[in-house]
Every structure is written in structure tokens, then in C-alpha cells.
Amino acid sequence: MVRVDKAELLFAAQSETGESPVWDEAGQSLWWTDIPGRKIHRLDPQSGRHESFDMPGRAGCFALRRGGGLIIAMEHGFSFFDPEAGLLEEIAEPEAGLSKHRFNDGRCDREGRFLAGSMNLTRDAASAKLWRVDRDRTVAEVMDDSTIANGLAFDISGRTMYWVDGGRRQIFRFDYSEEGAATNRRVFQDDGTAPGRPDGGAVDAEGCYWSGRWMGGCVARFTPDGRLDRLIEVPASRVTMCAFGGADYRTLFITTAHEGMSAEERAAEPHAGDIFAIELDVAGLPEPLFEG
């Protein structure tokens, strides 16, 4: 039997497309990006203090750095960002000149390297790729043949990688080496048992994969064998991604979007674009920091 629970409104963010939630353990705060809104946000859930930082482009995803600040995948390249000083330092632009592309989903692996995938905005070809920024700041291609790179997550050991191709609407699983290579691609989940289609993902301490469901109004939890065993319902259809956090990592934070909705749809879903949360009986894993 599939267990069903409901998330509650945490913060009225009204992000056009809220994405890439990341829990900051040191600061006990939640970060996320509004991609088309060109802002990165930070929220202290306890005090309610909220800050936003303007970006010069569409920041698809980011990770916290060991030395402070963020590493961001924005538009066609990677940058470091110091939010306190407001400084942005470009690292590399591996997809320069690809006007139909922008960076989308990503996170750090267990070795502290940052991975981010791009998307083809026109969806007319599987031309998007997954890139890796190593600790020495060099950039390498990890994967190609995708339309919308999404759902990146790593299991507890770090040797299994999950990745979604939004064009195919499938969740894939790969062997992931200590050196950062992804091999042995196989389908993990595509049986349609969960509503909507897979977007961003996360892995919990029991090794289960949590999938944000775009147009599904929920987050779905899949066991390591690909079986749906839990749904977290959200009062917004465009669920984008989830992240574990809080003092004990038992809070699931959920981002949503209202991008592309009509006035009538917005009226029917007034909380689309807001941040939701639920306390769980299972913990998540601390998010690795970028070590470069």
C-alpha cells in the first residue's frame, strides 16, 4: 500500500520556477533559485528571515562551497558567487554559444565535485549534457543524449547516480565511479505509478529516491528496486524538487512553480511557486559541499 501524506505551506515565495532547494547545515537555512526570476533566495525557517540575491542570468542550480559562498550553473556556464559581498566570478562556459540551451538541474557528488545538466529549451533534439566541475575547477563532460537534464542524486555510498531525462520522462540509474564517471545506464523507474512526470530528486538515509512530480502535485518516494511506496501531496501541480534539512534532516522542503500558468490556473492554485515542508519519520542525507 502506498502511504499518502500532505505537505504544509512554509513560505509564500511566489517563485516563477522555484528550483534547487539546498539545506545549509551551518547556517540552518534553506536556499533555492527562481530560474526565470533570476534570483537566489535564502530563508531561515525558524525566524522567517528571507533574503534574495539578484543574478545576471537564469541560475538553474547551485551548491554550497566548503570555503563559503556558492558554485552556480547559470545560463551556459559555471560561476562562484559570494552572497555577502555580491561578487560573481566566472569559472568556465562549456555550452557557450548554444542559444537554445541553459543549465538546469545539479548538485555535488559525495567527493565534493559539482555536476550540472543542461536542457534544450526547444525540446527538438537530445542535445543537452551533464557536466562535472572538479575540485581543481576543470570541467568535464559526463553524459549526453538528453533533452532536459534533471533529477540528479547519489545514493548513500556515492557509487550509484540517479538522473532524469525530462524528454523521455524516465528515471535512470548509473554506476558512478570514484573518479566521477557514469556508466551502465539502465531504467530505474518509468511505470507511471506516480502522478505527473519526474523532475528534481533526492535520496534519503534508507536509500530511497524522492522524485518531485511536475504536473503531479506531489513528491513520490521510490524504494531502491523502483517500487512506489509513498506520496507527499502538495497544493500546487508544478512540483519541481525536494531537499532534506532541518536540525535532524527529517524535514522535507519542496519547491514549486507557476511558470506557464494561465490566470485561471493561478487563481485555482494560489500557492503555486511557494515553498512547502513536511516532517518525516525518515531522515535525509547532508548535502555535500563543493570542495573546490
Separation of alpha carbons 192 and 177, rounded Å: 30
Terminal-residue alpha carbon distance, the chain:
44
Q: Which residues are within 8 A (CB) of 60 and not within 5 positions of it... i.e. 6 or more apart?
A: 19, 20, 33, 35, 73, 74, 102, 103, 104, 105, 106, 116, 118, 119
Residue 22's H or E segment, with its range, is strand 18-24
Specify whether 144 is catalytic. Answer: no
Separation of alpha carbons 208 and 15, rounded Å: 28
Separation of alpha carbons 169 and 188, rounded Å: 11
Residue 92's H or E segment, with its range, is strand 87-92
Options 199, 225, 229, 281, the catalytic residue: 199
Complete edge-to-edge strand list for the sheet that includes strand 87-92? 59-64, 70-74, 77-82, 87-92
Active site residues: 199
